[in-house]
């Protein structure tokens, strides 16, 4: 079986009632499968602010990352939740600079926060979705 990528959308953010830790909920685009990913407070705030259209006076870390890509002439092509080891998710930021493809290792929360800023699509590898569900 090939490990294809499944397009996801952000369904929402919530707090885990047991631990009070933020969770970003990804839902399969056009489907019913969901993937909850526990994330940090700062990343949840960065995602929520962008989803709500709130602009800050000074750039936040993910705004700086977006500006860095732009200054280097690179476009974020997509982000991919690429692996699940034990209880830790891993992600990749796929960027294009002209004809050159670049893949960066990232935490899913940072990759998602960047994706909402650059309007890049979010994907999850099928194997990750199978492990998580």
CB 12 within 8 A of CB 25: yes
Q: In the prediction, which pLDDT does 58 show? A: 87
Q: Give pLDDT tens digits for 113-130.
A: 999 999 999 999 999 999
Q: What is the pLDDT of residues 11-53, one digit of tens each?
A: 999 999 999 999 999 999 999 899 999 999 999 999 999 999 8
Quote the pLDDT of residue 2: 59
Report which of 70, 82, 83, 84 is spatially closest to residue 114, judged by C-alpha positions: 70
How high is the pLDDT of residue 60? 87
Q: What is the pLDDT of residues 60-107, one digit of tens each?
A: 889 899 999 999 999 999 999 999 999 999 999 999 999 999 999 999
Helix then strand then coil, % of the chain, to nearest 5? 30, 40, 30
Confidence (pLDDT) at 1: 47
């Amino acid at each position: 079986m090939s490990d294809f990528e499944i397009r996801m959308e952000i369904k929402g953010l919530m707090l885990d009632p047991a631990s009070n830790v933020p969770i970003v909920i990804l839902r399969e685009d056009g489907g019913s499968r969901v993937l909850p990913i526990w994330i940090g407070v700062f990343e949840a705030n960065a995602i929520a602010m962008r989803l709500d259209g709130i602009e800050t006076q000074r750039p936040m870390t993910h705004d700086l990352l977006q500006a860095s890509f732009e200054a280097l002439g690179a476009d974020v092509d997509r982000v991919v939740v690429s692996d699940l080891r034990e209880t830790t998710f891993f992600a990749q930021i796929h960027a294009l600079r002209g004809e050159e493809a670049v893949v960066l290792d990232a935490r899913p929360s940072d990759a998602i926060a960047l994706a909402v800023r650059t309007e890049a699509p979010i994907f999850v590898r099928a194997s990750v979705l199978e492990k998580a569900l």
